[in-house]
A and B are shown apart, each in its own frame.
Chain A
Amino acid sequence: MGEPARYLYAVTRGLAPAVLDGVCGQAGERLEMLGVLDLEAVVSTVDLDEFGEDALHENLEHLDWIERTARAHDAVVQACAAAAPTAPMRLATVCLDDQSVRLRLEEWYDELAAALDRVAGREEWSVKVFAHPAPTTAVMEPAEPALAGGAAYLRRKKAATEERRAAEARSLRAVEAVDRELRGISVAARHLRAQDPRLSGHAGTMLLNAAYLVEAGDARRFTELVAELVRTHPGVSIGCDGPWPPYSFATLDRS
Protein backbone atom coordinates (compact mmCIF):
# COMPACT_ATOMS: atom_id res chain seq x y z
CA MET A 1 0.00 0.00 0.00
CA GLY A 2 1.17 3.50 -0.81
CA GLU A 3 0.11 6.74 0.85
CA PRO A 4 -3.64 7.38 1.06
CA ALA A 5 -5.28 10.35 -0.69
CA ARG A 6 -8.80 11.61 -1.28
CA TYR A 7 -10.66 11.12 -4.54
CA LEU A 8 -13.33 13.76 -5.20
CA TYR A 9 -16.37 12.55 -7.17
CA ALA A 10 -18.80 15.41 -6.97
CA VAL A 11 -19.92 18.43 -5.02
CA THR A 12 -23.51 18.34 -3.86
CA ARG A 13 -25.92 20.52 -1.91
CA GLY A 14 -28.16 18.92 0.69
CA LEU A 15 -27.21 15.31 0.00
CA ALA A 16 -28.53 12.91 2.67
CA PRO A 17 -25.73 10.61 3.87
CA ALA A 18 -28.03 7.58 3.55
CA VAL A 19 -27.99 8.04 -0.23
CA LEU A 20 -24.42 6.75 -0.26
CA ASP A 21 -25.28 3.54 1.60
CA GLY A 22 -24.68 0.62 -0.67
CA VAL A 23 -22.67 2.65 -3.18
CA CYS A 24 -18.93 2.04 -3.38
CA GLY A 25 -16.15 4.30 -4.56
CA GLN A 26 -12.95 3.49 -6.43
CA ALA A 27 -11.58 0.06 -5.51
CA GLY A 28 -14.74 -0.59 -3.47
CA GLU A 29 -13.84 2.02 -0.86
CA ARG A 30 -16.43 3.54 1.45
CA LEU A 31 -17.81 6.93 0.42
CA GLU A 32 -17.73 9.88 2.78
CA MET A 33 -19.02 13.44 2.77
CA LEU A 34 -17.04 16.52 3.77
CA GLY A 35 -19.20 19.52 4.53
CA VAL A 36 -18.19 23.05 3.56
CA LEU A 37 -20.88 25.62 4.39
CA ASP A 38 -24.01 24.27 2.64
CA LEU A 39 -22.05 22.09 0.18
CA GLU A 40 -20.75 18.56 0.49
CA ALA A 41 -17.73 17.00 -1.16
CA VAL A 42 -18.29 13.32 -1.90
CA VAL A 43 -14.96 11.55 -1.46
CA SER A 44 -13.34 8.21 -0.82
CA THR A 45 -9.82 7.10 0.01
CA VAL A 46 -7.56 6.02 -2.84
CA ASP A 47 -4.01 4.74 -2.87
CA LEU A 48 -1.35 7.01 -4.37
CA ASP A 49 0.23 3.87 -5.80
CA GLU A 50 -2.78 3.87 -8.10
CA PHE A 51 -3.82 7.53 -8.21
CA GLY A 52 -0.53 9.38 -7.79
CA GLU A 53 0.87 11.34 -10.73
CA ASP A 54 3.14 8.66 -12.13
CA ALA A 55 0.58 5.94 -11.52
CA LEU A 56 -2.14 7.95 -13.31
CA HIS A 57 0.07 8.50 -16.33
CA GLU A 58 0.61 4.78 -16.51
CA ASN A 59 -2.96 3.76 -15.72
CA LEU A 60 -4.57 6.18 -18.15
CA GLU A 61 -2.94 4.24 -20.96
CA HIS A 62 -4.90 1.13 -20.09
CA LEU A 63 -8.42 0.82 -21.33
CA ASP A 64 -9.40 -1.75 -18.71
CA TRP A 65 -8.32 0.59 -15.92
CA ILE A 66 -10.05 3.57 -17.51
CA GLU A 67 -13.29 1.66 -17.92
CA ARG A 68 -13.28 0.41 -14.33
CA THR A 69 -12.40 3.83 -12.96
CA ALA A 70 -14.82 5.73 -15.18
CA ARG A 71 -17.72 3.44 -14.33
CA ALA A 72 -17.00 3.61 -10.59
CA HIS A 73 -16.84 7.41 -10.85
CA ASP A 74 -20.07 7.54 -12.81
CA ALA A 75 -21.90 5.20 -10.41
CA VAL A 76 -21.17 7.54 -7.49
CA VAL A 77 -22.16 10.62 -9.47
CA GLN A 78 -25.38 8.91 -10.60
CA ALA A 79 -26.32 8.07 -7.02
CA CYS A 80 -25.69 11.66 -5.91
CA ALA A 81 -27.52 13.22 -8.85
CA ALA A 82 -30.57 11.05 -8.17
CA ALA A 83 -30.92 12.61 -4.73
CA ALA A 84 -29.57 16.18 -4.72
CA PRO A 85 -28.19 18.95 -6.95
CA THR A 86 -24.85 17.57 -8.08
CA ALA A 87 -21.80 19.02 -9.79
CA PRO A 88 -19.74 16.07 -11.12
CA MET A 89 -15.96 16.39 -11.09
CA ARG A 90 -13.71 15.41 -13.95
CA LEU A 91 -12.29 11.89 -13.63
CA ALA A 92 -9.33 11.50 -11.27
CA THR A 93 -9.60 14.67 -9.19
CA VAL A 94 -7.35 13.77 -6.27
CA CYS A 95 -6.29 15.72 -3.17
CA LEU A 96 -3.82 14.63 -0.54
CA ASP A 97 -6.15 15.01 2.46
CA ASP A 98 -9.52 16.26 3.70
CA GLN A 99 -8.17 19.71 4.47
CA SER A 100 -7.02 20.09 0.88
CA VAL A 101 -10.47 19.09 -0.41
CA ARG A 102 -12.14 21.63 1.91
CA LEU A 103 -9.78 24.37 0.72
CA ARG A 104 -10.78 23.67 -2.92
CA LEU A 105 -14.47 23.98 -2.05
CA GLU A 106 -13.88 27.22 -0.15
CA GLU A 107 -11.82 28.67 -3.00
CA TRP A 108 -14.45 27.75 -5.62
CA TYR A 109 -17.52 28.16 -3.42
CA ASP A 110 -19.26 30.90 -5.45
CA GLU A 111 -18.73 29.17 -8.78
CA LEU A 112 -19.79 25.78 -7.41
CA ALA A 113 -22.93 27.27 -5.86
CA ALA A 114 -23.78 28.96 -9.17
CA ALA A 115 -23.22 25.71 -11.08
CA LEU A 116 -25.49 23.84 -8.66
CA ASP A 117 -28.15 26.54 -9.07
CA ARG A 118 -28.07 26.01 -12.83
CA VAL A 119 -28.53 22.23 -12.66
CA ALA A 120 -30.81 21.86 -9.63
CA GLY A 121 -34.00 19.99 -10.53
CA ARG A 122 -32.72 19.37 -14.05
CA GLU A 123 -31.21 16.41 -15.82
CA GLU A 124 -29.11 15.77 -18.89
CA TRP A 125 -30.40 13.84 -21.89
CA SER A 126 -28.21 12.55 -24.67
CA VAL A 127 -29.48 12.57 -28.24
CA LYS A 128 -27.52 11.29 -31.21
CA VAL A 129 -28.49 11.49 -34.85
CA PHE A 130 -27.02 9.18 -37.48
CA ALA A 131 -27.18 9.26 -41.25
CA HIS A 132 -28.39 6.04 -42.80
CA PRO A 133 -25.56 4.22 -44.54
CA ALA A 134 -25.29 5.32 -48.18
CA PRO A 135 -26.01 2.67 -50.84
CA THR A 136 -22.92 3.58 -52.85
CA THR A 137 -21.93 0.39 -54.62
CA ALA A 138 -25.34 -0.34 -56.10
CA VAL A 139 -25.38 3.03 -57.82
CA MET A 140 -21.82 2.92 -59.05
CA GLU A 141 -21.63 -0.62 -60.42
CA PRO A 142 -23.40 -1.21 -63.72
CA ALA A 143 -25.47 -4.38 -63.85
CA GLU A 144 -23.63 -5.57 -66.96
CA PRO A 145 -20.12 -4.17 -67.26
CA ALA A 146 -20.00 -4.89 -71.00
CA LEU A 147 -22.74 -2.35 -71.65
CA ALA A 148 -21.06 0.36 -69.61
CA GLY A 149 -19.90 2.96 -72.08
CA GLY A 150 -17.83 5.95 -71.00
CA ALA A 151 -20.71 8.41 -71.30
CA ALA A 152 -23.07 6.11 -69.44
CA TYR A 153 -20.50 5.73 -66.70
CA LEU A 154 -20.14 9.50 -66.34
CA ARG A 155 -23.90 9.97 -66.24
CA ARG A 156 -24.21 7.38 -63.49
CA LYS A 157 -21.35 8.92 -61.60
CA LYS A 158 -22.87 12.39 -61.82
CA ALA A 159 -26.28 11.12 -60.76
CA ALA A 160 -24.75 9.27 -57.82
CA THR A 161 -22.84 12.36 -56.71
CA GLU A 162 -25.94 14.51 -56.94
CA GLU A 163 -27.99 11.98 -55.03
CA ARG A 164 -25.35 11.78 -52.31
CA ARG A 165 -25.22 15.57 -51.98
CA ALA A 166 -28.98 15.78 -51.82
CA ALA A 167 -29.11 13.06 -49.17
CA GLU A 168 -26.48 14.88 -47.11
CA ALA A 169 -28.41 18.12 -47.36
CA ARG A 170 -31.63 16.38 -46.29
CA SER A 171 -29.84 14.78 -43.33
CA LEU A 172 -28.38 18.09 -42.21
CA ARG A 173 -31.78 19.77 -42.43
CA ALA A 174 -33.19 16.95 -40.32
CA VAL A 175 -30.42 17.42 -37.73
CA GLU A 176 -31.11 21.15 -37.56
CA ALA A 177 -34.82 20.54 -37.14
CA VAL A 178 -34.31 17.90 -34.43
CA ASP A 179 -31.87 20.11 -32.54
CA ARG A 180 -34.17 23.13 -32.80
CA GLU A 181 -37.19 21.21 -31.53
CA LEU A 182 -35.29 19.71 -28.60
CA ARG A 183 -33.77 23.06 -27.64
CA GLY A 184 -37.31 24.35 -27.53
CA ILE A 185 -38.11 22.33 -24.40
CA SER A 186 -34.61 22.36 -22.91
CA VAL A 187 -32.97 24.80 -20.56
CA ALA A 188 -29.62 24.50 -22.34
CA ALA A 189 -27.93 22.43 -25.03
CA ARG A 190 -24.37 21.37 -25.79
CA HIS A 191 -22.94 19.66 -28.81
CA LEU A 192 -20.33 17.03 -27.96
CA ARG A 193 -17.78 15.82 -30.47
CA ALA A 194 -19.14 13.15 -32.74
CA GLN A 195 -17.91 9.68 -31.94
CA ASP A 196 -15.77 8.38 -34.78
CA PRO A 197 -17.77 6.63 -37.52
CA ARG A 198 -14.99 4.15 -38.30
CA LEU A 199 -15.43 2.36 -35.02
CA SER A 200 -18.72 3.64 -33.69
CA GLY A 201 -20.37 0.32 -34.42
CA HIS A 202 -23.04 2.24 -36.32
CA ALA A 203 -23.11 1.94 -40.06
CA GLY A 204 -24.08 5.57 -40.57
CA THR A 205 -22.10 8.71 -39.80
CA MET A 206 -22.86 10.36 -36.47
CA LEU A 207 -24.26 13.74 -37.44
CA LEU A 208 -25.17 15.00 -33.98
CA ASN A 209 -23.98 14.07 -30.49
CA ALA A 210 -25.88 16.49 -28.31
CA ALA A 211 -26.67 16.93 -24.62
CA TYR A 212 -29.80 18.73 -23.45
CA LEU A 213 -30.46 20.04 -19.96
CA VAL A 214 -34.12 19.41 -19.21
CA GLU A 215 -36.31 20.24 -16.22
CA ALA A 216 -36.91 16.94 -14.41
CA GLY A 217 -40.65 17.55 -14.73
CA ASP A 218 -40.30 17.83 -18.52
CA ALA A 219 -38.51 14.50 -18.97
CA ARG A 220 -41.60 12.75 -20.25
CA ARG A 221 -42.36 15.58 -22.68
CA PHE A 222 -38.78 15.42 -23.86
CA THR A 223 -38.81 11.68 -24.58
CA GLU A 224 -42.23 11.97 -26.22
CA LEU A 225 -40.87 14.70 -28.45
CA VAL A 226 -37.91 12.49 -29.37
CA ALA A 227 -40.33 9.71 -30.28
CA GLU A 228 -42.26 12.14 -32.46
CA LEU A 229 -39.06 13.32 -34.14
CA VAL A 230 -38.13 9.71 -34.85
CA ARG A 231 -41.44 9.36 -36.69
CA THR A 232 -41.23 12.64 -38.57
CA HIS A 233 -37.59 12.23 -39.67
CA PRO A 234 -37.35 8.71 -41.11
CA GLY A 235 -34.35 9.83 -43.20
CA VAL A 236 -32.06 9.68 -40.15
CA SER A 237 -31.66 7.43 -37.10
CA ILE A 238 -32.19 9.08 -33.73
CA GLY A 239 -30.97 7.66 -30.43
CA CYS A 240 -31.88 8.94 -26.98
CA ASP A 241 -30.34 8.08 -23.63
CA GLY A 242 -30.84 9.40 -20.15
CA PRO A 243 -31.27 10.83 -17.72
CA TRP A 244 -27.62 11.57 -17.06
CA PRO A 245 -26.22 13.63 -14.22
CA PRO A 246 -25.55 17.11 -15.60
CA TYR A 247 -21.96 16.37 -16.66
CA SER A 248 -22.15 18.66 -19.67
CA PHE A 249 -23.77 21.57 -17.86
CA ALA A 250 -22.18 21.81 -14.42
CA THR A 251 -19.31 24.09 -15.33
CA LEU A 252 -17.37 26.71 -13.44
CA ASP A 253 -17.53 30.26 -14.72
CA ARG A 254 -14.93 32.50 -13.16
CA SER A 255 -15.11 35.91 -14.74
Chain B
Amino acid sequence: MTELRNDSVERRPGPSAASPYADRQPRPASLADVLDRVLDKGIVIAGDIQVNLLDIELLTIKIRLLVASVDRAQEMGIDWWKNDPMLSGRDDKLAEENRELKRRVQELEARRG
Protein backbone atom coordinates (compact mmCIF):
# COMPACT_ATOMS: atom_id res chain seq x y z
CA MET B 1 0.00 0.00 0.00
CA THR B 2 1.27 3.37 -0.87
CA GLU B 3 0.12 6.34 1.04
CA LEU B 4 -0.77 9.37 -0.98
CA ARG B 5 -0.81 12.94 0.10
CA ASN B 6 -1.63 16.07 -1.77
CA ASP B 7 -0.08 16.02 -5.22
CA SER B 8 2.10 12.98 -4.87
CA VAL B 9 0.48 10.10 -6.65
CA GLU B 10 2.30 6.86 -6.29
CA ARG B 11 0.95 3.42 -6.37
CA ARG B 12 2.13 -0.02 -7.04
CA PRO B 13 2.01 -1.74 -9.29
CA GLY B 14 0.69 0.79 -11.72
CA PRO B 15 -1.19 -0.21 -14.81
CA SER B 16 0.42 0.57 -18.11
CA ALA B 17 -1.61 1.72 -21.05
CA ALA B 18 -1.06 -1.55 -22.91
CA SER B 19 -1.97 -3.98 -20.19
CA PRO B 20 -3.05 -3.20 -16.67
CA TYR B 21 -1.22 -6.28 -15.43
CA ALA B 22 1.93 -5.96 -17.50
CA ASP B 23 4.25 -4.70 -14.79
CA ARG B 24 2.92 -6.45 -11.77
CA GLN B 25 5.41 -9.26 -11.28
CA PRO B 26 6.85 -9.44 -8.77
CA ARG B 27 4.15 -7.73 -6.83
CA PRO B 28 5.35 -5.96 -3.70
CA ALA B 29 1.94 -5.88 -2.03
CA SER B 30 1.90 -5.60 1.72
CA LEU B 31 1.33 -8.85 3.56
CA ALA B 32 -1.62 -7.31 5.38
CA ASP B 33 -3.33 -6.60 2.06
CA VAL B 34 -2.64 -10.10 0.76
CA LEU B 35 -4.03 -11.65 3.94
CA ASP B 36 -7.07 -9.37 3.83
CA ARG B 37 -7.86 -11.09 0.57
CA VAL B 38 -6.66 -14.67 0.70
CA LEU B 39 -7.82 -15.34 4.27
CA ASP B 40 -10.96 -13.24 4.36
CA LYS B 41 -12.11 -13.17 0.75
CA GLY B 42 -12.14 -15.53 -2.17
CA ILE B 43 -14.59 -18.30 -2.81
CA VAL B 44 -15.28 -20.76 -0.03
CA ILE B 45 -15.89 -24.27 -1.31
CA ALA B 46 -15.43 -26.97 1.28
CA GLY B 47 -12.71 -29.33 0.09
CA ASP B 48 -11.97 -32.74 1.52
CA ILE B 49 -9.67 -31.17 4.05
CA GLN B 50 -11.80 -29.33 6.56
CA VAL B 51 -10.18 -26.34 8.15
CA ASN B 52 -12.01 -24.81 11.06
CA LEU B 53 -12.80 -21.36 9.68
CA LEU B 54 -13.56 -20.06 13.14
CA ASP B 55 -10.00 -20.82 14.17
CA ILE B 56 -8.73 -19.02 11.14
CA GLU B 57 -10.91 -16.01 11.85
CA LEU B 58 -9.50 -15.76 15.35
CA LEU B 59 -6.02 -16.18 14.06
CA THR B 60 -6.65 -13.60 11.40
CA ILE B 61 -7.56 -11.06 14.00
CA LYS B 62 -4.31 -11.68 15.80
CA ILE B 63 -2.36 -11.49 12.57
CA ARG B 64 -4.22 -8.41 11.52
CA LEU B 65 -3.03 -6.63 14.63
CA LEU B 66 0.41 -7.79 13.88
CA VAL B 67 1.14 -7.43 10.25
CA ALA B 68 -0.93 -4.50 9.20
CA SER B 69 2.47 -3.38 8.13
CA VAL B 70 5.20 -5.82 8.93
CA ASP B 71 7.62 -4.09 6.60
CA ARG B 72 7.15 -0.77 8.30
CA ALA B 73 7.26 -2.32 11.75
CA GLN B 74 10.51 -4.08 10.95
CA GLU B 75 11.95 -0.86 9.63
CA MET B 76 11.11 0.65 12.97
CA GLY B 77 12.77 -2.26 14.73
CA ILE B 78 9.50 -3.70 16.01
CA ASP B 79 9.82 -7.45 15.71
CA TRP B 80 8.56 -8.78 18.99
CA TRP B 81 6.30 -11.30 17.29
CA LYS B 82 9.40 -13.12 16.17
CA ASN B 83 9.84 -14.06 19.81
CA ASP B 84 6.19 -14.89 20.40
CA PRO B 85 6.13 -18.70 20.31
CA MET B 86 2.44 -18.63 19.36
CA LEU B 87 3.23 -16.64 16.24
CA SER B 88 6.69 -17.59 15.21
CA GLY B 89 6.96 -21.11 16.50
CA ARG B 90 10.41 -20.16 17.68
CA ASP B 91 10.83 -19.98 21.43
CA ASP B 92 14.47 -21.08 21.37
CA LYS B 93 15.84 -17.68 22.15
CA LEU B 94 13.54 -17.12 25.11
CA ALA B 95 14.28 -20.57 26.44
CA GLU B 96 17.99 -19.92 26.10
CA GLU B 97 17.65 -16.59 27.87
CA ASN B 98 15.69 -18.29 30.62
CA ARG B 99 18.37 -20.93 31.06
CA GLU B 100 21.08 -18.28 31.19
CA LEU B 101 19.21 -16.29 33.85
CA LYS B 102 18.64 -19.39 35.97
CA ARG B 103 22.32 -20.25 35.71
CA ARG B 104 23.32 -16.77 36.86
CA VAL B 105 20.90 -16.81 39.78
CA GLN B 106 22.34 -20.12 40.92
CA GLU B 107 25.84 -18.72 40.57
CA LEU B 108 24.97 -15.67 42.67
CA GLU B 109 23.24 -17.76 45.31
CA ALA B 110 26.25 -20.07 45.49
CA ARG B 111 28.57 -17.09 46.05
CA ARG B 112 26.40 -15.71 48.87
CA GLY B 113 26.05 -19.05 50.60
A89 touches B45 (CB 8 A): yes
Q: How far is the CB of B108 from chain A (nearest CB, A)?
A: 37
Mind listing 16 A-B residue pairs with CB under 8 Å? A53-B50, A60-B55, A74-B34, A75-B25, A88-B37, A92-B49, A100-B48, A199-B66, A202-B68, A220-B15, A223-B9, A231-B7, A238-B3, A239-B3, A240-B2, A241-B12
Interface residues, chain A, with chain B CB atoms under 8 Å away: 5, 8, 11, 48, 51-53, 56-57, 60-64, 66-67, 70-71, 73-75, 77-79, 81-82, 87-96, 100, 104, 108, 112, 115, 123, 126, 128, 130, 192-193, 195-196, 198-202, 209, 216, 219-220, 223, 226-227, 230-231, 234, 237-244, 247-248, 250-252
CA–CA, A56 and B48, complex, Å: 13
B38 touches A70 (CB 8 A): yes
Q: Closest B-chain residue to A67, C-beta based? A: B31
Q: Determine chain A's interface SS by DSSP, over half rule.
A: mixed
**Mask: chain B, 3-39; 1 = CB below 8 Å from A; 0 = not:** 1111111011011010111001111010111111111
Q: Determine chain B's interface SS by DSSP, over half rule.
A: loop
> Chain B residues with Cβ under 8 A from A92's Cβ?
49, 51
CB < 8 Å A-B pair total: 208
CA–CA, A155 and B57, complex, Å: 45
Question: With contacts A53-B51, A60-B56 known, is A199 near B68, CB below 8 A?
Answer: yes
CA–CA, A16 and B40, complex, Å: 28
Q: How far is the CB of A222 from chain B (nearest CB, A)?
A: 9
CA–CA, A239 and B4, complex, Å: 5
Q: Which 8 A-B pairs have the closest CB atoms?
A: A201-B69, A201-B72, A82-B21, A247-B37, A200-B68, A195-B68, A94-B49, A247-B41
